[in-house]
Amino acid sequence: MTPLDDVGGVQEGPQDHNLRSLRRHQQVGRRAGRCRCQLPDADQLQPASCRRALKRDSGLQRAVESSRAFAVNVLAGDQKSLAADFFKPVKVEGNSLNGHPFTLSRTLGLPILEECPAWFECQVVEKVDQGDHVIYVGRVVDGAVVRQVPRYLVMWDTGWYYGG
């Protein structure tokens, strides 16, 4: 059993087997480094958890530090352009982030992109504050597979490389 096989609070539905598929794709993404468009590492711990390495003093790192929570929007394999829209500072206009509509998550009230096929949210339970990145360990508290897709976007497939 993997951590994403039994996530407490995840909405049950016919596409729930995709959470297991997300875990399998995570192995490929791990080779390519860290990026907001990549599925983060999943720990072999129960309850389910994941790690995020965020560049110190970035807007995202400051937001996670103050809220002690983060959401992961999982992109479909054909959503590379959506990922590219978040390589620039995030601009909030009404209910959109960089022009992409969002709703607030059920449990922690974090932005969930409506275009994404899956998402999960984490409460920070630990951090490692060393070097030029801060690593946050989050306990998965909620999530959903909104629609079934044949493949999830992983950095390996984009041709991009993270150098930060």
Check which CATH number belongs to the domain holding 23 and give it: 2.30.110.10
Has residue 134 got a pLDDT over 90? yes
Q: Is residue 43 part of a domain?
A: yes
Tell me the residue length of the chain: 164
SS (H, E, C) the chain: CCHHHCCCCECCCCCCHHHHHHHHHHHHHHCCCCCCCCCCCECCCCCCEEEEEEECCCHHHHHHHHHCEEEEEECECCCHHHHHCCCCCCCEECCEECCEEEEECCCCCCEEECCCCEEEEEEEEEEEEECCEEEEEEEEEEEEECCCCCCECCHHHHCCCCCC
Q: What is the pLDDT, as a whole number, of residue 41?
A: 52
Q: Is residue 77 part of a domain?
A: yes
Q: Is residue 98 part of a domain?
A: yes
Q: What is the pLDDT, as a whole number, of residue 154?
A: 87
For the record, the structure tokens of 102 come out as: 């969002």
Q: What is the pLDDT, as a whole number, of residue 54?
A: 92
Domain range for 133 is 3-158
More confident position, 5 or 104: 104
CA distance 88 to 99: 12
Domain total of the chain: 1
Q: Is residue 163 part of a domain?
A: no
Q: Is residue 106 part of a domain?
A: yes
Confidence band, pLDDT 50/70/90 cuts, at residue 122: very high
Q: Is residue 154 part of a domain?
A: yes
pLDDT in tens, 86-117: 888 889 999 999 999 999 999 999 999 999 99
What pTM, to 2 d.p., does this model score? Answer: 0.72
- pLDDT averaged over every residue in the chain: 77
pLDDT in tens, 41-71: 555 556 788 899 999 998 889 999 999 999 9
Q: Is residue 35 part of a domain?
A: yes
Q: Is residue 164 part of a domain?
A: no
pLDDT in tens, 18-43: 444 444 443 333 322 333 333 455 55
